[in-house]
Structure 1
Amino acid sequence: MKFLTETRHRLVDRTIDGTTNQVSEPYTVRMPKLPKDRDAMALVGVSALVLALTLVAIVWSTYSIGQLLGGGVGYAAGMVFDAAWLAVLLLEWLARFDPAKRDFPRKVGWALALVAAGAIFLEGMLAGGWQMAAVGAAVSVVAKVLWWAVFKHIDKDLSPADSQWVAAEMSKANAKLAIAGVRRQAAKAEVAARLELLAAERELNEIAGLDHFPAAAKITAEQVREHEDGSGLPEPVLNRANTVREQVEQGPNISHLARVELTAGASKKDAVEAILAKVPDAKQASVEATVRRERNKLDSAGYR
C-alpha cells in the first residue's frame, strides 16, 4: 500500500510574557493513498466522447438543414434542431432523482431528435436520394441513442418508499420557498401601504396648516389689540407658524401709566409729559391719543 505525507495544522497554547494565546502549528501525518475511481473516470471519458460526437451531429444537422432552408440565416435556424434536444438533456439530468419528473424531458428530447432527423432526411432526399438521406438522418439519431445509454447508466432508481421520502423532503423545501416568497411579497405590500399612509398624513397636515393660518392671524391681531387696551398684564400670543402659545416680553404699558396719572389728578398735558419722561422712546402723538382715551373712560365711569 502506498502512503502520502500530508501537512496539517492544529491550535496549540503558547505563552509569551505571561500571556497565553492559541497559535496554529503545522504537523505531518501519513495517509494511505486512495486508489483512483476508475468507474468515475470511465463515465467521464464516455460522456466526453459522446459530447464530441454530438457536436459533430450538430454541425452536420446545421449544414444539412441550412441547405434545405436556403443558406444564410438558414444555418442559424438549422442549429436549433439538434441544440434543442441537447439542452433538454440538462433537464433530464437535474431530474435524475425523480422518475416522474425525469420522464417528461426524456420524451421531449426524443421528439426533438426525431424532428431533426426528419429535416435531415428531407434535405438528403432532395440532394442525393434515400441512401444519403438515411445516413445523414442517422447521425442525430445515433447521438441521441448514445446520450440515452449514458443517462440510463447514471439514472438513480429508488424504491417506492425511498421515492416517497424524497418527495416529502422536496415538498418541505418547496413549502419553505413558497412561504418565503409570500412573506417577501407581503412585506413589500406592507411597506408600500405604510408609505402611502405617511404620504397621505403629510398632505393632510399641509392642508390643515393652510386652513388654520388665517384663523391664527386673526387671533393674534385680537390679542395684540387686547394687550394695547388691557390692564398691563403680559398676554400670551399664538405663533402663526404652529399655533403654540409663547410668552412675549412686554415694555411699559402706556395705558396703565396714563390711568395712574389721570387718577392722581394730573391734567392731560401733565399726564403726557409724565409718560414721555418715563417712556422716552414713545411717540408723543400715540401717548396723547392714549391719555385722551383713558380720560374718556374715566369720565364715562363717573370719575372726577
Structure 2
Amino acid sequence: MKTRTVYETRLVPHTVGGRTRLVPDEVAIELPAPPRDWDRTVLTGVTAVAVLVLTACVVWSTASVGGLLSRVVIEPAAYGAAIVFDLAWIACMAVEWLARYDPDRARLPRAAGHVALLVAMLAVGAHGWIAGYPEIGIVGAAVSGLAKGLWTVVLRHQTPPLDARTREFLRQELAEAGASLALIPVQRQVLRARGLVAAEQAALPAGPDTPDADPDQSGQDTDRPDQSDEQPPGPPMTIKDAVRTAVDSGLTEPDRVLAYVRKRADANARPDTVDRYIRLARMAG
C-alpha cells in the first residue's frame, strides 16, 4: 500500500537544567495515500488541450482577419480589430458558463456566441477567398468552429444536470437575492431625498406663506422663557453629522448649512466650525 508523509507539529516535554517545558516538535507521520483520481486527471488534460486549441484558434483567426482588414487600414488597427472577432464568442461562452444553472439566462449568450462565431468564420473564409486560396479559407474557418465545439463539450461535461424543480428553486433563490440587492440603491435614493427635504425645511426661514409660520404668539407660555420650538424629529446629531447630512442633501451655501445645523444639532454652533466641517465633507465626498 502506498503511503504519504505528513508533517505535524506537536508540543512535547523537554527538560533542561531540571526544568521541563512544552516545546514544539515536528513529527513525520506516514498515512495511506489515496488512490489516484484518474477522472480528474483526464479532465485536467482535456481542459489543457482545450486551452491550447483556443490559443491557436485566436492566433490564427487574428492573423487571418488582420491580414484581411490591413488591406484598407493600418496594421495595428487591423489586428486590434481582428482579435475582437474571437473575443466576442469567447466572452459569450464564458457568460453562458456562468448562467449554467439557469437555462433561460444561458439561452441569450449561447445564441450570441453562435452568431459571433459565424461572423468570425466568415471573416476568416473571406480572407482566404480574397487571397486566392478558398480551400485555406475554409480550413482556417473550421479552426474556430472546432475550438468552439471542443469548449462546448468540456463545459457541458462539467455542468451538473438539474431537474426542473431544482432549477426553479435556484431561480427563486437568485430572484430573492437580486431583489434584496436592488433595494440598496433605492433605499439610498429615498434617504437622500428625505435628507434633502429635511435640510430644505430646516434652512429656509418660516415666512407668512409657509405652514410653519405662526404669526400669533399670544398663546406662548410667558411664565417659561426657556421654552423653545421643538427639535425636528430624529435622533440627536452632532455638528459634524448635521453638516454631512446637509451637504449630502445638496445644500452648498454656508448660511443655509449653518441654519440647518443650529436647528438640528446645536443652536450655538459657530460659523467657522461649520465651515471647517463643510470643507471636510466636500473633500470626503
TM over 0.5, shorter chain: yes
Does 1:177 pair with 2:178? no
Cα shift at 1:177? 1.3
Distance 1:66 1:120 in 2: 9
- Corresponding residue to 2:190 among 186, 192, 213: 186
- Corresponding residue to 1:84 among 88, 95, 112: 88
The structure, 1 or 2, with the larger RCO (C-alpha pairs under 8 Å, 6+ apart) is 2
Residue type matched to 1:153 in 2? H
Unmatched runs of 5 consecutive residues or more in structure 2:
12-21, 208-285
Does 1:52 pair with 2:44? no
Name 2:63's counterpart in structure 1. 63
Name 1:7's counterpart in structure 2. 8
- Corresponding residue to 1:153 among 144, 154, 157: 157
Name 1:94's counterpart in structure 2. 98
Name 2:109's counterpart in structure 1. 105
Cα shift at 1:155? 2.0
Matching of residues 1-304 of structure 1 within 5 Å:
1=1, 2=3, 4-5=5-6, 7=8, 32-69=32-69, 70=71, 71-72=74-75, 73-201=77-205
Decide whether aligned partners of structure 1 residues 170 and 27 sit closer, same or farther in structure 2, where only a CA change above 3 A counts. farther
Unmatched runs of 5 consecutive residues or more in structure 1:
11-22, 205-304
Decide whether aligned partners of structure 1 residues 31 and 123 sit closer, same or farther in structure 2, where only a CA change above 3 A counts. same
Decide whether aligned partners of structure 1 residues 34 and 176 sit closer, same or farther in structure 2, where only a CA change above 3 A counts. farther
Query: Larger deviation: 178-187 or 94-103?
Result: 178-187
Deviations 1:186-210 (A, max 9, x none): 2222233333333325x98xxxxxx
Distance 1:157 1:199 in 2: 62
Residue type matched to 2:101 in 1? F
Distance 1:68 1:3 in 2: 57
The answer (yes or no) to whether the contact 1:50–1:143 under 8 Å persists in 2 is: yes
Decide whether aligned partners of structure 1 residues 5 and 120 sit closer, same or farther in structure 2, where only a CA change above 3 A counts. closer
Paired residue secondary structure (1:7): strand
Report the TM-score when normalising by structure 1.
Answer: 0.55
Name 2:257's counterpart in structure 1. none
Distance 1:185 1:147 in 2: 44
Decide whether aligned partners of structure 1 residues 40 and 194 sit closer, same or farther in structure 2, where only a CA change above 3 A counts. farther
Name 2:264's counterpart in structure 1. none
Q: Please give the root-mean-square deviation of Cα atoms over the aligned residues, in Å.
A: 2.9
Paired residue secondary structure (2:204): helix
State the identity as a percent: 35
Distance 2:143 2:87 in 1: 14
Name 2:221's counterpart in structure 1. none
Residue type matched to 1:7 in 2? E
Decide whether aligned partners of structure 1 residues 26 and 59 sit closer, same or farther in structure 2, where only a CA change above 3 A counts. same
Normalized per residue, the structure richer in helix is 1
Distance 2:203 2:177 in 1: 39
Distance 2:137 2:109 in 1: 27
The answer (yes or no) to whether the contact 1:6–1:31 under 8 Å persists in 2 is: no
Deviations 1:91-112 (A, max 9, x none): 0111111122122211211111
Distance 2:23 2:162 in 1: 46
Decide whether aligned partners of structure 1 residues 162 and 24 sit closer, same or farther in structure 2, where only a CA change above 3 A counts. farther
Distance 1:193 1:27 in 2: 67
Report the TM-score when normalising by structure 2.
Answer: 0.59
Residue type matched to 2:8 in 1? T
